[in-house]
Amino acid sequence: MESHKLHTMQLHVEKGLQSSNLADVMTTITECARYIREYPFPHFVHATLFRLAQTFNGEIFARKFEHSMNTIRLRIVVAIKECNKCLSLAFSTEEIIRFILKVSHSNDYKARSLTLLLLGSLAPLTCEDKKVHNLIIESLDCVEMTELSAAIQAANELAKFSISFSSLIIRKIAEMFGKNFLEISLKNELFGIISNLRGLSVSKSSIELGRRLLEGLPTNEMHSISLLLSELEKVINQRNKLLVHCILQNLSSIAEYRNFWTIENIKAIRDFYHQINFLSSKGILCTWLHCMDVLSSTEFHSKILLENYPWSVLLNSGNIVVRIFAIKLSLNLLLNGEMDAQFQQTLLNSILVTLCQFIDNPTSPSSIVNRQKHEFLFLVSKFVCSPKCTPHFASSLVRNILRAELTSSYDEFFQLLAVINENYWRECREIVNSSFFSAIFNSKNFNIVPPIVFTILLSTMPFSLLNQSNDQNLTNFAGQIISNNFNYWTIYKIA
């Protein structure tokens, strides 16, 4: 019974679409959408879409509706949109697409525009067809605004379903923005496509495109910074810690684009310290310090931030994570600007205290503390390589590191020692030499000594040869290396 009803409807569709009366044709097209929604059977859906594609092509009418074809095509586009949830049931798309694509060669820009709109409406079927991809990409270069807008809409629909098309269209969008000839309305439509793109690599490309567009803005004024700063003051007064944290995270992201920050903006975020500290939230304080740290990466911004620094008390904070964030900010300011002697001495003392704390407790159950330790040691290494570091401070670092046990748990500290030794060879070689020789030979297990220790020792050894007493130490050291007490893998790493 059901199959008979479907057959009857199919005959009705074919008869209606071949009618010589335009009203009958339009009515039949409208009914096709309802039939597909009510009877979503694959064979019936495919057959109906095939007939609509033939009608869209117009060959079945000969010259009968020559002046009304675009009206018929527009009605087909609307009908397809009304039943788009059932389109994926069609089991073959090649013939359907072939009939539609013939219209894309028309001299009438309206017909070409309607073709693009129909292909977009049929996105569940057309999304992986290479000919459709190429047509839409090429159509984005057209000068006729109606056709260009239709191509953007079609691209928007295909981007929802196809990763391969998303990869193509993001490159095309970047090219179009690079030419900088589009109207604002069309740029907004292109951004709509980006929001629908599929695939992780495509998302990365989209973010990169957004960054390039932001950096290339013709104006240096970013209203969102002032807006966020004004809202930050409101939510701080309301003691809404969640919103404060959220706004600070957004400001940290925008801080990467320092050229958009005015002097007033920088002073405003700097002067929020007392209000933020009053909230008694370590997480919010660290986020604020991170935002300041990002801003302090240039000499101009560092100079403004160094005009007032009440937050320097955080260098003595009992919370090691807060202290490290304060050290990161202070080191950036020191490397990019001129810091007064008292502030600088407080910073250097804080670095030594933090280093000692990590040496006394090389491992922590907190992943956050361990992550901050790695970053802290990296920053200290960077500072040691800079001209702002002094031989006296380098020697202080060496003396503290030499307190560490000669085990793999302290390997990162010896990596820092290697950096110091490389930059302050003359100042540090004697203390390194004497301490390491005695420590190595007093070690209960020679094999647990990290290879980096021997690398450091070998780098200072030529000068120790000048001393006859150390010559015997060198002989003993060489004997230990070639003895069976030292595994060959470690010897290889030392070499």
Q: 131 pLDDT band (50/70/90 cuts)?
A: very high
What is the overall mean pLDDT for the chain? 77
Instruction: Tell me the C-alpha distance between 309 and 152, whole Å.
Output: 51
Q: Are residue 210 and residue 65 in the same domain, yes or no?
A: yes
Q: Which amino acid is at 119?
A: L
Domain end point (choices 356, 389, 422)? 389
pLDDT value for 489: 46
Q: pLDDT over 70 for what percent of the chain?
A: 74
pLDDT value for 466: 40
pLDDT value for 116: 93
Q: Are residue 312 and residue 420 in the same domain, yes or no?
A: no
- Domain assignment of residue 424, given as a range: 393-495
pLDDT value for 38: 84
DSSP 361: S
Total number of domains in the chain: 3
Domain end point (choices 339, 365, 389)? 389
pLDDT value for 227: 82
Contact 315, 326 (CB under 8 A): yes
Beta strand spans in 133-239 (E): none
Q: Are residue 35 and residue 128 in the same domain, yes or no?
A: yes
For residue 406, is pLDDT > 50? yes
Domain end point (choices 185, 215, 245)? 215
Q: Are residue 376 and residue 263 in the same domain, yes or no?
A: yes
Q: Which amino acid is at 392?
A: H
Average pLDDT over residues 460-468: 46
Q: Are residue 309 and residue 409 in the same domain, yes or no?
A: no
CATH classification of the domain holding 25? 1.25.10.10
Q: Are residue 385 and residue 473 in the same domain, yes or no?
A: no
Q: Are residue 145 and residue 242 in the same domain, yes or no?
A: no
pLDDT value for 172: 84
Instruction: Tell me the C-alpha distance between 443 and 365, whole Å.
Output: 27
Show the tokens assigned to 14: 């074919």
Q: Are residue 367 and residue 452 in the same domain, yes or no?
A: no
pTM above 0.75, yes or no: no
Helix ranges, 365-450 (H): 367-384, 391-401, 411-423, 425-441
Provide CB contacts within 8 A for 11, sequence distance 6+.
none
Among the listed ranges 33-47, 301-315, 467-481, which one has the minimum average pLDDT value? 467-481
Q: Are residue 397 and residue 385 in the same domain, yes or no?
A: no
Provide CB contacts within 8 A for 92, sequence distance 6+.
46
Provide CB contacts within 8 A for 152, sequence distance 6+.
140, 186, 189, 190, 192, 193
Instruction: Tell me the C-alpha distance between 484 and 443, whole Å.
Output: 16
| Residue whose pair of structure tokens reads 């996105």 in the numeric block | 123
Instruction: Tell me the C-alpha distance between 28 and 33, whole Å.
Output: 9
Show the tokens assigned to 139: 């159509």
Q: Are residue 125 and residue 194 in the same domain, yes or no?
A: yes
Contact 315, 330 (CB under 8 A): yes
Q: Are residue 412 and residue 425 in the same domain, yes or no?
A: yes
The 10s digit of each residue's pLDDT in 216-251 is 554 445 567 888 888 888 888 888 888 888 888 888
466 or 272, higher pLDDT: 272
Q: Are residue 330 and residue 434 in the same domain, yes or no?
A: no
The 10s digit of each residue's pLDDT in 266-318 is 888 888 888 888 888 888 888 888 888 888 877 777 778 777 778 888 888 88
Contact 416, 377 (CB under 8 A): yes
Among the listed ranges 140-149, 189-198, 264-273, 318-327, which one has the minimum average pLDDT value? 189-198
